[in-house]
Amino acid sequence: MTFLQIRDVHKSYGDHEVLQGVSLDVARHEVVCLIGASGSGKSTLLRCINALEEISSGDILVDGDVVSGRGVDVNRLRRNVGMVFQSYNLFPHMSVLRNITLAPTRIGGVAKEAAEERALALLDRVGMRDKANAYPDALSGGQQQRVAIVRALATNPQVLLLDEITAALDPELVGDVLAIVRELAGDGLTMLLATHEMGFARECATQVCYLHEGRILERGSAEQIFEDPQEERTRQFLGRVLTGGRL
Amino acid sequence: MAAATAVPAVPGTRQGPPPTPPARVVPLALAGLAVAVVAGGCAGLALHSLHAMIEHPAAWAQALIWLLAVAACLPVVPAVRALLAAPQRTRLVAAGDLPGARASAADGREHATVAMGYALSVLIGAALVWFVTANDGAISHTFLRWTFIDQAWSGVTKAFWVNIRVAVAAEVLVLVLGLVLAVMRQLPGRSGRPLRWLATLYVDMFRAIPSIIVLYLVGFGLSLAKVPVVKDLSPIWLAIFALTLTYSGYVAEVYRAGIDSIHPSQWAAARSLGLSYPMTLRTVIVPQAVRRIVPPLLNDFIGLQKDTALIGVMGVTDAFTQSRLVSSDVFNLSPVIVVAVLFVVITIPQARFVDRLIAREQGRRAGRTS
Ligand SMILES: Nc1ncnc2c1ncn2[C@@H]1O[C@H](COP(=O)(O)OP(=O)(O)OP(=O)(O)O)[C@@H](O)[C@H]1O
Ligand SMILES: [Mg+2]
């Protein structure tokens, strides 16, 4: 059953049409990887789904309900659709624990103790329980990104959007973060991720979409896209990326 | 290797420039010595004039003057050391020890510049002493007469409490009103437009009008016009009100700069968690902005504190008004100096406090990121 549906979405910044009619269906428990060159619109698409950007035309549906356009309760939508950013974006003036419990306590109506208990349990899962009282600046990039993932999970989202979450990390830290995403995929969390980690996409994605200049040029299973791409452009892109040493 | 980066005019002949001996030290050293001697002479003249003004200086005052005279001549010492470094440089150049020659030349130049720096400070100090003591001490008699300072002291310090109370009350109000204005200027969307516009107009207006005019208009206008509630306020409250009007305009701009300085990704992160606009502002943006705006905020507060010296125009007896009363009685400006000193005394700790805050914030950041 389709859980997240994107129907012919267009998005322009001024004269520049960044998304030129993107359509995408994501079923529950799917892990969809968006790949494509820099500037192809991956981040923009994710930000539109999270309503951080207003779309110019088209529809976005979550669980059969239109969540784009005027009058939508974006705050409720965002509690269902979590997002993790390339640059972590933790709140530097709050401890790790407070970063995580802020949204559940302030808007989810969860009691402080319950929220902290859950936050600690989640931190435990990502091996960060001992850093609960640290401040973000005292953490490595990989640790910050793990906290950011936990923060997004703390509101119990049904879909998680991950925007190149390992792109700013040192190579030896990438593994830690991807291991968590892999585990979440195993738990059946629905995820949509923009990534340059082709090895990870090949291993975990149930669906891979190749974006080119604001369109999904080709889509299919990981096997299809990586072993037998149909489009010339996809082949070129993969050729460039894979010989570039990013596997 | 050079051929790989630059193409020589004639292949194979390119060479680096030959090593050159260090520049001569003597001219700079002589200049330093000249400045030091002139400064010492000027200081001597100025101290002589001081000595003459005091008429019958006590023994300790005499000793102090002599000590100052000796200190004023000290810049000669590095100048002489610079001169001594010169022959050593020449000797080392002759011996072919270029690194050694460069080092002693550098030493010589450093001594010479040190001499100049200290000698210039001595000159400035001498000029000040001369200014105060010239004309048989007319300046110091006008500004620094101990008897009048003593006479004004208790009345002026008492009146200074009015300045402090007005400043503190206005600062509290300014913090609140400034934030309200800054948030109004940031309101998003079409619904926020009229409020944005009003806030901008307010900030523009009250930053443009000199605060003494606002004080004057508020002090006399509001009670003349019999504005309800306001007309019954005491002049002190009117002063607080007027200063709040002016300074909330400045502080609104400080807040706004602070809010703008928070990276948009913080907004995105907070909103993506489902926090509403006001909630994001309150829990994520403003707390981070406040840390950054303390120094500029304190600058504005120091300005506000100084402007409390203007509230005399609305009939409040503050320290400045009080000192002027005494001053016109005795026909001497020393009482006003008391007020000036009081303002300095309350401002310096605040300046040091801000320095400490900045240092601590930087230290914490450095400690965390390393
Ligand atoms: N706020 C904005 N204003 C104007 N143009 C924008 C804005 N954000 C993105 N763009 C443009 O939209 C295009 C797509 O950007 P986007 O960030 O979605 O690319 P991307 O696929 O995520 O690239 P990358 O792999 O480098 O992250 C780019 O050409 C970019 O210049
Ligand atoms: Mg991107």
Question: Is the pLDDT confidence value at B56 over 60?
Answer: yes
Average pLDDT over residues B196-216: 94
* Better-predicted residue by pLDDT, B144 or B154: B154
Query: Taking CB atoms and an 8 Å limit, are B271 and A87 in contact across chains?
Result: no
DSSP string computed for B150-163 = HHHHHHHHHHHHHH
Q: Tell me the C-alpha distance between B110 and B48, whole Å.
A: 32
Q: A37: which DSSP letter?
A: -
pTM of this prediction exceeds 0.80: no
Quote the CA–CA distance of A60 and A64 in Å, as a whole number.
9
Q: Which pLDDT does position B13 carry in this prediction?
A: 66
Cα separation, B221 vs B217, in Å, equals 5
CA distance A150 to A152: 5
Contact of B69 with B47, CB cutoff 8 Å: yes
Residue closest to B25 by CA, chosen among B91, B86, B67, B76:
B86
Mutate to test the interface with B, among A49, A70, A91, A160 (most CBs of B within 10 A): A91
**Is any atom of ligand 1 closer than 6 Å to the C-beta of A167?**
no
Average pLDDT over residues A53-69: 89
What integer pLDDT is reported at residue A160 of this predicted model? 94
Residue B370 pLDDT level (bands cut at 50, 70, 90): very low
Check whether A190 has a pLDDT greater than 80: yes
Q: Find the mean pLDDT for residues B329-356.
A: 89
Closest C-alpha to ligand 1, atom 1: A13
| Residue B10 pLDDT | 61
The type of residue at A190 is T
pLDDT bracket for residue B211 (50, 70, 90)? very high
Q: Which residues of chain A does B261 touch, with a Cβ-Cβ cutoff of 8 Å?
A: none
Q: Could you tell me the pLDDT band of residue B9, with boundaries at 50, 70 and 90?
A: low
| Strand boundaries in A14-85, DSSP class E | 16-27, 31-36, 57-62, 65-66, 81-84
> What mean pLDDT comes out for the span A25-51?
93
A212: phi then psi, degrees, rounded to nearest 5? -140, 120
CATH (domain of A156) = 3.40.50.300
Q: What is the pLDDT of residue B369?
A: 45
Q: Which residue in the set B275, B365, B369 is minimally distant from A106, CB to CB? A: B275
Q: Which domain holds residue A12?
A: 2-243
Supply the mean pLDDT for chain B. Answer: 87
Q: Read off the pLDDT of each residue in B52-69 and give the average, rounded to a whole number.
A: 86
Instruction: Kindly state if the Cβ of A13 falls inside 6 Å of ligand 1.
Output: yes
Average pLDDT value for chain A: 91
Cα distance between the two ends of chain B = 39
Counted domains in chain A? 1
Which domains does chain B carry?
26-139 (no CATH), 148-369 (1.10.3720.10)
Question: Has residue A247 got a pLDDT over 50?
Answer: no
**C-alpha of residue A165 to centroid of ligand 2, in Å:** 10
Which tokens is B25 given? 């030290």
Question: CB-based contacts of B318: which residues, under 8 Å, 6+ apart?
Answer: B159, B160, B162, B163, B166, B308, B309, B311, B312
Work out which ligand 1 atom sits closest to the CA atom of A37: 25
d(CA B82, CA B340): 43
Give backbone dihedrals phi and psi of A155, rounded to 5 degrees, phi first.
-90, 10
What is the average pLDDT across B243-268? Answer: 94
- Strands A207-212 and A31-36 come out as parallel
By alpha-carbon position, which residue is closest to atom 5 of ligand 1?
A13
Chain B residues near any Cβ of chain A (below 8 Å): 265-266, 268-276, 279, 283-284, 287-288, 291, 365, 368-369
pLDDT at B147 (0 to 100):
83
Out of B266, B272, B275, closest to residue A52 by CB: B272
- Is pLDDT above 80 for A165? yes
Tens digits of residue pLDDT in B155-184: 889 999 999 999 999 999 999 999 999 999
Q: Are B313 and B322 in contact (CB under 8 A)?
A: no
Q: What is the pLDDT of residues B292-319, one digit of tens each?
A: 898 889 989 999 999 999 999 888 889 8
Q: Is the pLDDT of residue A246 over 60?
A: no
Across A184-206, average pLDDT: 90
- The span from the CA of B353 to the CA of A47, in Å, is 43
Tell me whether residues A107 and B279 touch, CB distance under 8 A: yes
pLDDT score for A241: 83
Q: Please state the rounded mean pLDDT for residues B58-67.
A: 90
Q: Do B284 and A91 touch (CB under 8 A)?
A: yes
Which residues, in sequence order, are CB contacts of B231 under 8 Å at separation 6+?
B222, B223, B225
Show Cβ contacts of residue B151 under 8 Å, excluding neighbours closer than 6 positions.
B326, B330, B335
Average pLDDT value for residue range A202-210: 91
Specify whether the CB–CB gap between A4 and A190 falls below 8 A: yes
Q: Band of the pLDDT at B368, cuts 50, 70, 90?
A: low
Could A91 and B265 be called an inter-chain contact, meaning their C-beta atoms sit closer than 8 Å? no
Distance (Å, whole) CA A121 – CA A127? 10
CB contact under 8 A, B268 and A151: no
pLDDT at position B173: 97
Q: Looking at residue B251, what is its pLDDT?
A: 95
